């Protein structure tokens, strides 16, 4: 079995847990490869040298025969992993070394049991929809114009709101006078979109949600649309440019650039333990029912 390890950094408090992961893999004679910048961080900042000699730095040199792609970190690290995995079909396994973790949902105290369950096949593979962004030259985010969570347009370098003219399959929907607009996938519905009042969608829902950011008109609310439809955005305002973001990546875009958002032609595979369900994750991460009156 082959496993790829990916991460950015973690605190010294997590080092023992990381060593435990390596010990478990060594015990089961699993061939490991590791993201080179992550390896360099562990060696230089934590004083520990993992016994791993196979490295990758981007999608092109990732071993496509890897059985699992383990991410060590939080949801931000998980999103960065998507750029490396892309359409390879390798299931991503999220180990949480941080705080919340909707996607990186394996906690430190679950690591030994989780690895045993994975090796025994006690898990499910979920396929998560991505969205794709296209512009006239299709070079907005270099060679990976996809997002697992959301695409966002936002005002930049000004206190003034921007106007986002929005169309669904060519039909005019609305001109949002706001700080920005979020187009979120079901996976991203528990992220930025949720923080501005967007609805929570079940992961396998075939929809996108359009959520305005601080709209001037209080009757404007998030709207759920089928992900088979193409969403077109045209932005204007007092500034000559605005900010466009795909998950954790942001670029400056010229005003009046036409943006087309559609469903990607591939999906990301996410490994979920049988003990972790979407509803239990919602309860635990959002602390539903913590109030003793419930």
Task: Specify which residues 150 forms β-bridges with.
Answer: 184
β-pairing, 180-184 vs 207-213, is antiparallel
> Tokens standing for 210?
């359009």
Kindly give, in sequence order, each residue whose CB lies less than 8 Å from that of residue 125, ignoring residues fewer than 6 positions away: 91, 269, 270, 271, 272
Q: How far is CA 137 from CA 133, 134, 152, in A?
A: 11, 8, 19
- 183, 150 contact by CB (below 8 A): yes
Longest dimension (CA), the chain: 61
Q: Exactly one of 13, 16, 63, 75 is catalytic; name it.
A: 75
Among 256, 237, 225, 285, residue whose Cα is nearest residue 103: 285
How many Cβ atoms from other residues are within 10 Å of residue 27's Cβ? 10
Catalytic residue check, 75: yes
Question: Phi then psi for 67, rounded to 5 degrees?
Answer: -80, -35
Task: Specify which residues 259 forms β-bridges with.
Answer: 233
How many Cβ atoms from other residues are within 10 Å of residue 239's Cβ? 16
Q: Which residues are annotated as catalytic?
A: 75
């Amino acid at each position: 079995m082959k496993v790829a390890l990916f991460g950015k950094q973690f605190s010294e408090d997590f080092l023992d847990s990381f060593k435990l992961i390596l010990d478990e893999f060594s015990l089961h004679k699993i061939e490991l490869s590791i993201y080179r910048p992550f390896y360099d961080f562990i060696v230089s900042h934590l004083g520990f040298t993992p016994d791993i000699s196979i490295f990758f730095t981007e999608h092109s040199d990732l071993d496509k025969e890897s059985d699992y792609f383990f991410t060590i970190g939080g949801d931000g690290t998980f999103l960065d992993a998507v750029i490396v995995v892309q359409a390879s079909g390798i299931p991503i396994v999220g180990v949480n070394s941080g705080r919340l973790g909707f996607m990186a949902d394996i906690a430190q105290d679950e690591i030994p049991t989780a690895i045993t369950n994975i090796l025994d096949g006690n898990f499910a593979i979920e396929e998560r929809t991505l969205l794709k962004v296209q512009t006239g030259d299709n070079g907005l985010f270099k060679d990976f114009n996809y997002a697992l969570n959301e695409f966002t347009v936002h005002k930049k370098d000004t206190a003034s709101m921007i106007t986002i003219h929005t169309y669904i399959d060519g039909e005019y929907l609305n001109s949002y006078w706001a700080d920005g607009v979020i187009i979120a996938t079901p996976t991203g519905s528990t992220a930025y979109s949720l923080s501005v009042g967007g609805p929570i969608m079940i992961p396998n829902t075939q929809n996108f949600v359009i959520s305005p950011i601080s709209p001037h008109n209080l009757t404007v609310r998030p709207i759920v649309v089928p992900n088979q439809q193409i969403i077109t955005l045209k932005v204007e305002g007092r500034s000559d440019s605005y900010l466009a973001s795909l998950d954790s990546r942001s670029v400056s875009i010229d005003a009046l650039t036409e943006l087309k958002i559609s469903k990607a032609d591939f999906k990301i595979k996410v490994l979920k333990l049988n003990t972790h369900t979407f509803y239990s994750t919602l309860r635990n991460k959002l602390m539903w029912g913590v109030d003793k009156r419930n």
